Structure 1
Amino acid sequence: MIATIALSFGVLFLAELGDKSQLMALTFSLRYRWWVVLAGISVASVAVNLIAAGVGHFLGTALPANAIAVITALTLLVVGLWTLRDALTSTADAEEAPAPPSARNAFLVVISAFTLAELGDRTMFAAAALASNNSWLAVWIGSVAGMVAAGGLAILVGKIAGKHLPERGIAIASGLLFLFFAGKTVLDAFAPSLGWASVGVALIAPAMLGAGVLVWRKRAQSAARVGELADVTT
């Protein structure tokens, strides 16, 4: 059993490196408290890997990946637009980010996003494949540990990077990244033949929106400076 746990841990940890779930963990860590993100990842990992181990061991069939991909993309799209709205409509100073959501709301967002992102993902199929020939309990334990470890690594990187970046810029970048994840999820499900080209395609909309936000912010800052000069002269 220990060998199976170690094998599952290694497979899931390596599969998560560079995967969209780890990038999501990094993005969430830039916006929310680290312990909220880690707790959300842990709960989602327990649920998803339990399903994967059960499917692999008892059923040997897969979940409807395309339908799940659409739901996941819609969830990420909503989270991304919500984050951008909060960042752009705040009346706070331009260098300050809007107040983050409560720990409870952030926790629910992380759980929802990670659960949907992992359902039908390659890591879930890997766990199901391992459970088909090994103890499902051992696979479940090892898979959860591997996924949480990979998420924890991403959170650490995010927190280190976040100390050197402006908070409002982090909020805007987070929103754009979620839009990218939404597009990439749909492309991976319905156009797998694109391969790495899907990254470029998924980046088009967030890049255009980001450029628009940058222009809008510069104009808003210029207008604010003109207003301040006018007040001084009068």
Structure 2
Amino acid sequence: MQAFLISTGIVALAEIGDKTQLLAFILAARFRKPVPIILGIFVATIVNHAFAGALGAWVTSLVTPEILRWVLGVSFIAMAGWMLVPDKFDESEAKFAKLGVFGTTVVAFFLAEMGDKTQVATVALAAQYSSFFWVVAGTTLGMMIANAPAVLLGDRIAHRMPVRVVHGVAALIFVVLGVATLLGAGARLGF
């Protein structure tokens, strides 16, 4: 359950101001059909994060626990730095309109999420917690917590959200996770 809660919180914070959240705003403004957009985000996220979670689980089978601890600790600290870099969104990532609202959302969101902060975080979290299902469920819920309101409320919330503060909090959480991992907290706590 800890893997689920931490994955949900980290990804929900990391997604604020992320390029995929910007994509959610753009899709909502373009199509004005929130239900198929939200369903498309959900499907794309599950597929993308299931792949990322499987990759994280696979990595744990390749390296010793000691090496994994160092790789994950450094990765979490690197994610903290990455959180402080603002994302830019390329309009071409939302150009699949001939697929309909749902299809456009699935394809555009899946492609935008490839190599994104939240996907990389999912890989690291799955490796850290060795709990594929709970990590993927948590990161998917985190994405939905951040993106469903973006679709439903659009511009009304986009300019009121203190993105730098939210990213700062997320970066701090990643630093704490990284340092705790490097110090071996996960091994002592059983995850």
- TM bucket, shorter chain: 0.5 to 0.7
Provide the residue aligned with 1:158 in structure 2: 154
| Aligned pairs for 1:140-179 within 5 A | 140-158=136-154, 160=156
Following superposition, the deviation at residue 149 of structure 1 comes to: 1.4
**CA displacement, residues 132-157 of structure 1 (integer Å, 9 cap, x when unaligned):** 02111110100111111111121123
State yes or no: 1:39 paired with 2:39: yes
* Aligned partner of residue 17 in structure 2, secondary structure: coil
Are 1:4 and 1:142, in contact at CA under 8 Å, matched by a contact in 2?
Answer: yes
Matching residue of 1:191: none
Letter in 2 for 1:136: F
- State the distance in 1 between where 2:38 and 2:5 align: 21
Q: Structure 2: how far apart are the matches of 1:139 and 1:113?
A: 23
When normalised by structure 2's length, the TM-score is 0.61
Query: Is residue 77 of structure 1 aligned with residue 76 of structure 2?
Result: no
Partners of 1:35 and 1:50 lie apart in 2 by 22
Q: Of 128, 134, 141, which residue of structure 2 is paired with 1:138?
A: 134
SS in 2 for 1:11: helix
2:7 paired with 1:12: no
Q: Give the fraction of aligned pairs with identical amino acids, expressed as a percent.
A: 31
Deviations 1:58-107 (A, max 9, x none): 1369xxxxxxxxxxxxx952745x8xxxxxxxxxxxxxxxxxx68x6111
Kindly report which structure 2 residues correspond to 1:37-116, keeping only aligned pairs within 5 A, or say none.
Answer: 37-59=37-59, 76-77=91-92, 79-80=94-95, 105-116=100-111
In structure 2, what is the Cα distance between the partners aligned to 1:105 and 1:152? 19
> SS of the residue aligned with 2:37?
helix
Which residue identity does 2:17 align to in structure 1? G
The answer for unaligned runs of 5 or more in structure 1 is: 62-74, 83-100, 162-234
Residues 161-213 of structure 1, C-alpha deviation per residue, up to 9 Å, x if partnerless? Answer: 8xxxxxxxxxxxxxxxxxxxxxxxxxxxxxxxxxxxxxxxxxxxxxxxxxxxx
SS of 2:154's equivalent in the other structure is: helix
Aligned amino acid, residue 51 of structure 1: F
Aligned residue runs from structure 1 range 192-231, under 5 A: none
Contact 1:76–1:113 (CA under 8 A) maintained in structure 2: no
> 1:59 and 1:7 mapped to 2: Cα distance?
20
Task: Check whether the contact 1:29–1:159 (CA below 8 A) recurs between aligned residues.
Answer: no
Separation in 2, partners of 1:79, 1:41:
13
Unaligned runs of 5+ in 2: 63-89, 158-191
Separation in structure 1 between the aligned mates of residue 20 and residue 47 of structure 2, nearest angstrom:
15
Task: State the Cα distance separating 1:160 from its structure 2 match.
Answer: 4.8
Alpha carbons of 1:13 and 1:46: their partners in 2 closer, same or farther (altered >3 Å)? same
Task: Report the Cα offset of residue 43 of structure 1.
Answer: 0.3
Flag the 1:49–1:78 CA change in 2: closer, same or farther, 3 A: closer
Report the CA distance shift for 1:8/1:79 in structure 2 as closer, same or farther (over 3 A). closer
Which 4+ runs in 1 deviate beyond 6 A? Answer: none
- Where does residue 182 of structure 1 map in the other structure? none
